[in-house]
Structure 1
Amino acid sequence: MPTPIAVFIGAPSSGKSKIGKRVARLLGVPFIDTDKRITALHGEITEIFATHGELHFRELEQRVVAEALTEEAIVSVGGGAVIHELTQAALRDQRVVLLTTTADAVAARITSGKRPLLKDGGVDAWIRLVEARRPIYERLAVRTWDTSARPIDTIAAEIADWLAAELPQLTHTHRKDTEK
């Protein structure tokens, strides 16, 4: 059974989707955003929260994540996916990349209103959320990259380099020695 090349975890707005897409492109592999899959299957996440509550959403999320973990791809999971015990168990044997960021860096990133757990509390809510999840994130992570200030293309290239070294069968399209 195929397994993911890497799974991206981290706080909301840490760059999991943006960087994950770039890593997948550099490695020439598929990219899966589990939040997008949930939306495609069940509707907008904010609506699921409003209509059915967080517990129902977490159950849907757990099933979508479990399915994504059977595919050979770069997988990005929602910030709270790791709180489900079955998801934690499924991630224990994966190449889990934790993306971190600071509250200052995330302040401009969380203005969309598409994050139901942050809608009323802004950065303060984000800080509380991250602190509550930090032990889980850190326990599951194989490698960590901070996304606060560095260019996302640089971070993506570093992650792709690491994965290519871990999995030599990957065709790595990024070159450190760019042609002049």
Structure 2
Amino acid sequence: MTRSSTEAIVLVGPMGAGKTSIGRRVARELQLPFSDTDSLIVRDHGPIAQLFASHGEARFREIERGAVLEALAQGGVVALGGGAVLDADTRADLSAHHVVLLTVSPRIVRARIQGASRPLLADGDDPVARWESIMASRSALYADVADVTFDTSSGPLSHVVSDIVSWVRGVVEDHAGPGDENVRDALSEPSESK
């Protein structure tokens, strides 16, 4: 399938994998816009925990689908909420984009999710056990949509950012067709450090 120059670099993965923080840094390095579907939801509908409490997960997923469509239409670098891949239409839409799966080990995610307001982790006494259960139920979906996987469990996140940027530049160089010179040029030139 030939992809267009309007495709996005989409980060998927479980809660606590670093999609937002890494996505922002990748976007800065590539000099592309960044959007986060959870932030779009909060902007338009208020806190996610309140949405879950007031309207339930099914309504949240409907709202999330709208945020996914908006973010993908904007292009650039997009961080999807951990459960966005549950939607079959979203999974189908991702085939037109470059999808990066970020993973993280349960040992590391404990510190990242501790004290966070995450409605799906509120059930039960052990949020890490709940996280592992959610991850197990979604792992095949993540793998199905992903073009490449990077683990964020060890080392500085700057290494993951650099690896993703290198991968994106290589993919763009390999897939750029006639008329994509501007995109290829923008992504193949290293950005200046800020």
Per the normalisation by structure 1, the TM-score is: 0.92
Q: Runs of at least 4 residues of structure 1 off by over 4 A?
A: none
Q: Cα offset for 1:150?
A: 2.1
Alpha-carbon contact 1:157-1:174 (below 8 Å) kept:
no
* One-letter identity of the residue aligned with 2:136: E
* Aligned position for 1:169: 185
Structure 1 residues not aligned, in runs of 5+: none
* One-letter identity of the residue aligned with 1:79: G
RMSD, aligned CA: 1.7
Does residue 1:134 correspond to 2:139, yes or no? yes
* Aligned position for 1:158: 163
Q: Cα offset for 1:142?
A: 0.1
Work out the CA distance in 2 between the residues paired with 1:23 and 1:158.
10
Work out the CA distance in 2 between the residues paired with 1:97 and 1:27.
15
Within 5 A, what are the aligned runs for 1:97-108? 97-108=100-111
Work out the CA distance in 1 between the residues paired with 2:49 and 2:112.
17
Percent of aligned pairs sharing the same letter: 40
> Structure 1 residues 71 and 169 mapped into 2: Cα distance closer, same or farther (>3 Å)?
farther
Q: Deviations over 1:83-133 (max 9, x none)?
A: 011111111221000000110010001113321001234000000000000
Work out the CA distance in 2 between the residues paired with 1:136 and 1:5.
19
Structure 2 residues not aligned, in runs of 5+: 173-183
How many residue pairs end up in the alignment?
176
* Aligned position for 1:70: 73
Work out the CA distance in 2 between the residues paired with 1:114 and 1:4.
32
Alpha-carbon contact 2:35-2:77 (below 8 Å) kept:
yes
Query: Which of 18, 21, 25 is equivalent to 2:24?
Result: 21
SS of the residue 1:14 aligns to: coil
Work out the CA distance in 2 between the residues paired with 1:119 and 1:113.
10
Work out the CA distance in 2 between the residues paired with 1:69 and 1:112.
30
